[in-house]
């Protein structure tokens, strides 16, 4: 070291040292003051100052060459913080010895110049490790792992080379990777060959692929100190080496000794401390519980005979508390009665050691127990970690779940409020049409898709943002720091681009899109809490879905009123069902061959008492999300069948009606019975009823669906596949279902006759439908040209504004009468 | 390759720690060190000095390290100057929190005066590597 630097350093140290006495005085003073209870759980100024002083000493001592000061101050600081404030103030005696030690280290400071090196053992002869490894990449890994811990490493690629080297300079430790391509038996031979090292008392650590009993037994017999399995992680390797080399774990074991004989405690303490164990000697058993709490020993040794209470009683007091059920208790007594020994073990203990015992024997006994106790604790801790991981993560994608997301969001919102960051943004991302993928490919492939999606999101977004899956096909992404709106837009667009590449689902490639709702947050939005922000993102998401999907919408406050409107609408819907505010309208369907009206599709209308007529596109999604769709569906079915009955009564002629059935309605196990009962109740022929259902509803459970369709057919009820051509419908799968008609979706008709693609699709659908023996109906026919195209393509039926808009019952009846007068039968 | 650090502003309220850190950074590390005794002072000095790096104690009276950092980040001149914290509490959660606040790293206290400069260089290189 540079002489000038050396001089400067020692002068700074001298200055620091000169102030230590003063600090000792301050420590005494604050200790006394903090003892006096101020008020209930209030720390009081003295205790706060005391903790502050300890913190400073902990943070400075070692820097100035006084490691003991740092260590003791840190320990005392931690111990005080771990205690209940009230407990500490009323009785700080437990920590008194620690405080005294610190005081001593301040008044008579011990300088340790080489202290900085303590954590990085560098003495070569003590830390020379030989490694036998024939895999160069593993060899590199070992070298790296051990170098960082201050070990000197020599690598050998064969056993004979190693033997030669050992005879020249004996290392502190040998690590042998015995994973041999020949397998188990070869490894056994290698282990047997290790006698030489055993004789030289060099500890050997074996690393192996095999974990079989035979190999392990041979290793044990060959005197191998540790047997580690591959794959190996650095932490396991290092802590194992440390324990062998230093003969103590890196984190010292902690023992609580309770014995009324202080001299005895001191002897045991000395001996155990030599082995690197931290010992808390307690001669007053009544303080045991407090010490357990603050010192957290890994093993408790109790003297059986003490004046205040005997060890047996004390053991039971400890065991009364579940959290101490795991601490091994060892009794120590001169009492040789076997009955008492047995009783002690039965009531609370794990073992019984007879006094007098040589300290080294006690040490060996206790160390073995400590080692085992720590292994158990480590195992339990790992399990607990795993459980807490599961609690906070989604099982499928392993992303944070809603609970964790909310916690992180709350924290991030606080940071924004306190000015640490300017803005944050919560993105809710929903996969458009995910339900259809699930229906078409099954849940397993659907789940796989979610996992793929999670990976895509995670890998393409910055590490600082939190990608989570609160549930279903929805992802939530928290950007804890946003510089402004342009960044929000940037990320939203990046996410939409994630769907540019198709996803592989089973053997197919599926193209998906996202709808994204975004809620930004900034410090000015104090009144908004985490739940509200979620709602805002949800409202924006709803808007994104409504605006045609594959889009993002950033929340604006005017949407709030829409949110309120949705909630209000749900409650209004419930009332509407009770107050009969719904009615049906009828959109006629025409046979193209005969130009006759053959029936109508029944549509639902809601006449709101204040708002007037509300469109189904507005209230159906609300009914779906609020669990009202089934009741609405039932209402429509009943009204339609009642109308059919009325028609026959009034005109003596039958009319055919088509009724839409929601996927959820169709999935109900009672669905077929419900239809049968309604038909029976109103005495209506099933042939007059046609049910329209989307293909995705049929695909949910194919066997059950086919069964239902067949049963409905027995009543004469006809089935039409609605919205055909959208989503994942395909002709091939139609063969499976006993259906009568296909309704071609209006989106294919809209741009006819100009759009050639649509024309080709419609032509194909009609031809294939006919080939399967099905009837075809084109929806949304709005002009003469479209009508002509449909005629030319030999479509069977049409429906749309060109024929007629949906009309109220009475107007429809006039049309029926006209038909009747012209002598046409409405039954097609 | 990261450009070399030349000027460091060191914010620390304890005079004795200030002294030894200054010595370590100047005599051993060869940096130019400007000392500040409080967060407030740092806010005045840093925009004028425009150091390459700011080294800051976490626990300071009145304005602690994290709040000083937050305030610095409000000033466009200081926005991009890397900040490393020094603290006696090196819990993983706290380190994470500091890094989230925008710190490039944390140097645990008590530090070793002989290796402090190397630690600073290490953090600097890591920050530039990223």
Specify the residue for token string 């390459």: B52
Q: Which of A8, A19, A419 sits opposite B70 (nearest CB)?
A: A419
Are A344 and A441 found together in one domain?
A: no
Assess if residue A214 is contained within a domain.
Answer: yes
Cis amide bond preceding A74, omega within 30: no
Single residue among A494, A526, A556 that ends a domain in this structure: A556
Residue A5 CA neighbour count, 13 Å, CB half: 14
How far, in Å, CA of A41 to CA of A97, rounded? 24
* Best A20, A59, A72, A462 residue to mutate vs chain B (most B CBs within 10 Å): A59
pLDDT at A822 (0 to 100)? 62
Which residue in the set A9, A62, A464 is minimally distant from B23, CB to CB?
A: A9
Q: Hey, of B18, B110, B113, B122, which one would you mutate to test binding to chain A, going by the most A CBs within 10 A of its CB?
A: B110
Compute the average pLDDT of residues A542-570. 80
**Residue keyed to tokens 């003969």:** A247
Instruction: Say if the Cβ atoms of B17 and A59 lie within 8 Å.
Output: yes
Among chain A residues, CA nearest to B68: A420
Report whether pLDDT(B110) > 70.
yes
- The DSSP-derived string for A230-261 is SS--HHHHHHHHHHHHSSS-SS--EEEEE-S-
> Looking at residue A481, what is its pLDDT?
82
Q: Give the gyration radius of chain B's Cα atoms.
A: 13
Name which of A2, A16, A58 is nearest B16 (Cβ-Cβ).
Answer: A16
Domain for residue A397, yes or no? no
- Preferred mutation among B65, B88, B97 to probe A, highest tally of A CBs within 10 A: B88
Find the closest chain A residue to B13 by CA distance. Answer: A56
- B27 CB neighbours in chain A (<8 A) are 2, 4-5, 8
Contact A63 B113 (CB under 8 A): yes
A523 and A576 inside one domain: no
Structure tokens at A7: 């001089």
Contact B20 A74 (CB under 8 A): no
List the CATH number of the domain containing A714: 3.20.20.450
Stretch 13-52 of chain B: residues touching chain A, C-beta under 8 Å: 14, 16-17, 19-20, 23, 27-28
Query: Could you tell me if residue A428 is inside a domain?
Result: yes
pLDDT tens digits, residue range A530-549? 999 998 999 899 888 877 67
Same domain, A681 and A706: yes
pLDDT attached to residue B10: 95
Q: What is the pLDDT of residue A727?
A: 61
Q: Are strands A741-744 and A278-282 parallel, antiparallel or unpaired?
A: unpaired
Q: Cα–Cα distance between A96 and A34 in angstroms, integer?
A: 13
Residues pairing with A602 in the sheet: A586
| Structural domain total, chain A | 5
Run of H or E residues at A778: strand A775-778
Judge whether B114 is closer than 8 Å to chain A, CB to CB.
yes
A551 and A484 inside one domain:
yes
A440 is a domain residue: yes
Position B96 scores a pLDDT of 82
A721 and A759: one domain?
Answer: yes
Query: What are the chain B neighbours of A2 within 8 Å (beta carbons)?
Result: 27-28
DSSP for residue B111: P
- Comparing CA positions, the residue from A25, A111, A27 lying closest to residue A68 is A111
Domain shared by A343 and A305, yes or no: yes
H or E element that contains A223: none
Do both A317 and A216 map to the same domain?
Answer: no
| Nearest-by-Cβ selection for A8 from B23, B70, B89 | B23
Residue A41 has pLDDT above 70, yes or no: no
H helices of A61-194, in order, are 67-82, 85-90, 96-107, 136-147, 159-168, 184-192
**Partner-chain contact A64 B20, CB within 8 Å:** yes
Question: Which long-range contacts (C-beta less than 8 Å, at least 24 apart) are formed by B66-71?
Answer: B66/A420, B66/B97, B66/B98, B66/B101, B67/B39, B68/B11, B68/B39, B68/B42, B68/B43, B69/B101, B69/B102, B69/B103, B70/A418, B70/A419, B70/A420, B70/B101, B71/B39, B71/B43
Residues A693 and A788 in one domain: yes
With a cut of 80, say whether residue B89 has pLDDT above it. Answer: no
Q: Are A653 and A647 in contact (CB under 8 A)?
A: yes
Mean pLDDT in residue range A108-137: 63
Query: Domains in chain B, ordered, with CATH?
Result: 7-129 (3.40.50.2300)
- Which positions in chain A have a beta carbon within 8 angstroms of at least one beta carbon in chain B? 1-2, 4-5, 8-9, 12-13, 15-16, 19, 55-56, 58-64, 70, 74, 116, 418-420, 464, 480
Give the number of A-B residue pairs with CB atoms closer than 8 Å: 66
Check CB contact under 8 Å for A63 and B109: yes
In a domain, A828, yes or no: no
pLDDT in tens, A769-827: 899 889 999 999 999 999 999 999 999 999 999 988 889 888 888 877 776 666 444 43
Report the percentage of chain A scoring pLDDT > 70: 90
- Mean model confidence pLDDT for chain A: 82
B90 at interface of A, judged by CB pairs closer than 8 A = no
pLDDT in the model for residue A124: 36
What interhelical angle do A184-192 and A213-221 show, nearest 10? 10
How are beta strands A596-608 and A612-614 bridged, if at all? antiparallel
Q: Other C-beta atoms within 10 Å of A371: how many? A: 14
DSSP for A12-38?
HHHHHHHHHHHHHHHHHHHHHHHHS--
Mean pLDDT of A617-632: 81
| The two structure tokens encoding residue A358 | 């040589």
Nearest C-alpha of chain A: how many angstroms from B2?
23
Q: What is the CATH number of the domain that holds A485?
A: 3.30.70.270
CATH of the domain at A173: 3.40.50.2300
CB contact under 8 A, B111 and A19: no
Last residue in a domain, options A197, A223, A245: A245
Element (H, E) at B11: strand B7-11
In a domain, A771, yes or no: yes
Question: What's chain A's Rg over C-alpha atoms?
Answer: 41
Same domain, A526 and A413: yes
Which one of A4, A7, A12, A45 would you mutate to disrupt binding with B, by most B Cβ within 10 Å of its Cβ? A12
| Domain around A227 | 128-245
Domain end call among A508, A527, A556 = A556
Same structural domain, A409 and A489: yes
- Is residue A391 one of the residues assigned to a domain? no
Question: What pLDDT is stored for residue A516 in this prediction?
Answer: 93
Chain A: nearest CA to B103, how far in angstroms?
12
Residues A585 and A551 in one domain: no
Whether residue A480 and residue B100 make contact (CB cut-off 8 A), yes or no, is yes
For residue range A189-235, what is the model confidence (pLDDT) as tens digits?
Answer: 666 676 667 666 788 888 888 777 877 787 777 778 888 888 888 77
Would you put residue A472 in left (φ > 0), alpha (ψ -120 to 50) or beta?
left
A798, A787 Cβ separation under 8 angstroms: yes
Most confident region among A409-423, B44-58, B92-106 by mean pLDDT: B44-58
Which pLDDT score, from 0 to 100, does residue A443 have?
A: 84
pLDDT at residue A115, as a whole number: 38
A19/B16 touch (CB, cutoff 8 Å), yes or no: yes
Residue A100 shares a structural domain with residue A51: yes
- Does residue A639 lie within any of the structural domains? yes
């Amino acid at each position: 070291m540079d002489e000038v630097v050396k001089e400067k350093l020692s002068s700074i140290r001298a200055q620091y040292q000169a102030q230590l006495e003063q600090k000792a005085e301050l420590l005494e003073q604050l200790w006394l003051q903090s003892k006096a209870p101020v008020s209930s759980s209030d720390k009081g100024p003295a205790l706060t100052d005391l903790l502050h002083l300890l913190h400073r000493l902990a943070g400075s001592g070692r820097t100035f060459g006084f490691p003991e000061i740092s260590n003791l101050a840190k320990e005392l600081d931690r111990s005080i913080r771990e205690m209940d404030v009230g407990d500490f103030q009323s009785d700080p005696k437990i920590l008194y010895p620690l405080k005294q030690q610190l005081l001593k280290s301040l008044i008579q400071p011990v300088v340790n110049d080489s202290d900085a090196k303590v954590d990085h053992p560098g003495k070569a002869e003590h830390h020379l490790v030989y490694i036998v490894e024939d895999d160069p990449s593993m060899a590199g890994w070992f070298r790296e792992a051990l170098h960082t811990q201050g070990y000197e490493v020599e690598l050998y690629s064969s056993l004979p080379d190693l033997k030669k080297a050992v005879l020249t300079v004996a290392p502190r430790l040998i690590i042998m990777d015995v994973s041999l391509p020949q397998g188990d038996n070869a490894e056994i031979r290698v282990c047997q060959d290790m006698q030489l090292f055993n004789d030289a008392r060099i500890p050997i650590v074996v690393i192996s692929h095999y974990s079989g009993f035979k190999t392990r037994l041979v290793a044990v017999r060959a005197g191998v100190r540790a047997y580690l399995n591959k794959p190996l992680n650095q932490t396991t390797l290092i802590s194992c080496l440390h324990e062998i080399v230093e003969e103590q774990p890196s984190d010292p074991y902690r023992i609580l000794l309770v014995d009324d004989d202080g001299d005895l405690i001191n002897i045991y303490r000395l001996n155990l401390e030599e082995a690197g164990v931290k010992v808390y000697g307690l001669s007053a058993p009544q303080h045991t519980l407090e010490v357990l709490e603050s010192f957290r020993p890994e093993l408790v040794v109790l003297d059986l005979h003490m004046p205040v209470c005997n060890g047996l009683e004390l053991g039971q007091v400890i065991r009364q508390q579940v959290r101490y059920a795991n601490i091994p208790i060892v009794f120590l007594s001169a009492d040789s009665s076997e009955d008492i020994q047995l009783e002690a073990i039965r009531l609370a203990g794990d073992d019984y050691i007879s006094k007098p015992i040589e300290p080294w024997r006690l040490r060996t006994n206790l160390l073995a127990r400590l080692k085992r106790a720590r292994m158990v604790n480590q195992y339990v801790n790992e399990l607990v970690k795993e459980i807490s991981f599961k609690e906070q993560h989604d099982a499928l994608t392993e992303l944070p779940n809603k609970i964790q997301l909310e916690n992180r969001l709350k924290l991030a919102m606080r940071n924004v409020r306190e000015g640490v960051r300017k803005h944050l943004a919560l993105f809710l991302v929903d996969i458009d049409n995910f339900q259809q993928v699930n229906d078409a490919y099954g849940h397993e492939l659907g789940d796989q898709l979610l996992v793929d999606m999670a990976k895509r999101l995670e890998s393409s977004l910055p590490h600082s943002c939190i990608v989570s899956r609160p549930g279903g096909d929805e992802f939530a992404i928290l950007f804890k720091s946003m510089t402004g709106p342009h960044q929000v837009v940037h990320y939203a667009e990046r996410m939409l681009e994630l769907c540019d590449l198709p996803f592989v689902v089973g053997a197919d490639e599926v193209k998906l899109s996202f709808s994204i709702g975004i809620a930004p947050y900034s410090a000015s939005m104090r009144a908004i809490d985490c739940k509200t922000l979620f709602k805002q993102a949800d409202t924006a998401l709803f808007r994104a879905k409504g605006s045609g999907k594959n889009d993002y919408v950033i929340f604006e406050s005017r949407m709030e009123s829409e949110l309120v409107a949705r909630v209000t609408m749900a409650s209004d819907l419930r009332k509407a069902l009770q107050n009969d505010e719904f009615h049906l309208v009828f959109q006629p369907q025409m046979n193209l061959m005969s130009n006759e009206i053959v029936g109508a599709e029944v549509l639902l209308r809601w006449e709101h008492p204040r708002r007037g007529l509300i469109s189904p596109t507005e209230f159906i999604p609300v009914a779906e999300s609020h669990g009202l769709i089934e009741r609405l569906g039932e209402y429509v079915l009943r009204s339609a069948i009642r109308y059919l009955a009325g028609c026959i009564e009034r005109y003596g002629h039958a009319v055919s009606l088509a009724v839409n059935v929601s996927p959820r309605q169709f999935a109900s196990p009672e669905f077929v019975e419900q239809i049968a009962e309604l038909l029976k109740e109103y005495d209506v022929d099933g042939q007059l009823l046609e049910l329209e259902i989307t293909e995705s509803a049929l695909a949910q459970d194919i066997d059950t669906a086919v069964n239902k369709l067949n049963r409905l057919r027995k009543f004469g009820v006809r089935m039409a596949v609605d919205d055909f051509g959208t989503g994942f419908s395909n002709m091939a799968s139609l063969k499976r279902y006993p259906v009568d008609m296909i309704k071609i979706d209006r989106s294919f008709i809209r741009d006819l006759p100009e759009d050639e693609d649509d024309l080709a699709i419609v032509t194909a659908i009609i031809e294939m439908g006919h080939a399967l023996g099905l009837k075809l109906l084109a929806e949304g026919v709005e002009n003469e040209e479209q009508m002509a195209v449909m005629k030319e393509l030999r479509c069977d039926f049409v429906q749309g504004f060109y024929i007629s808009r949906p009309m109220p019952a009475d107007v429809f009846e006039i049309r029926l009468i006209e038909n009747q007068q012209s002598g046409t039968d409405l039954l097609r | 390759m990261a450009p070399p650090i030349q000027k460091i502003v060191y914010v620390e309220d304890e005079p004795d720690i200030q002294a030894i850190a200054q010595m370590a950074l100047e005599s051993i590390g060869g940096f130019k060190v400007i000392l500040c005794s409080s967060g407030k002072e740092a806010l005045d000095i840093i925009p004028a000095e425009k150091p390459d790096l700011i080294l800051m104690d976490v626990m300071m009276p009145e304005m602690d390290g994290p709040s000083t950092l937050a305030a610095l980040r409000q000033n466009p001149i200081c926005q991009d100057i890397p900040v490393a914290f020094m603290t006696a509490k090196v819990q993983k959660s706290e380190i994470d929190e500091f890094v989230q606040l925008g710190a490039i790293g944390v140097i645990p206290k008590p530090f070793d005066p002989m290796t402090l400069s190397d630690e600073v260089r290490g953090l600097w290189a890591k920050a530039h590597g990223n």
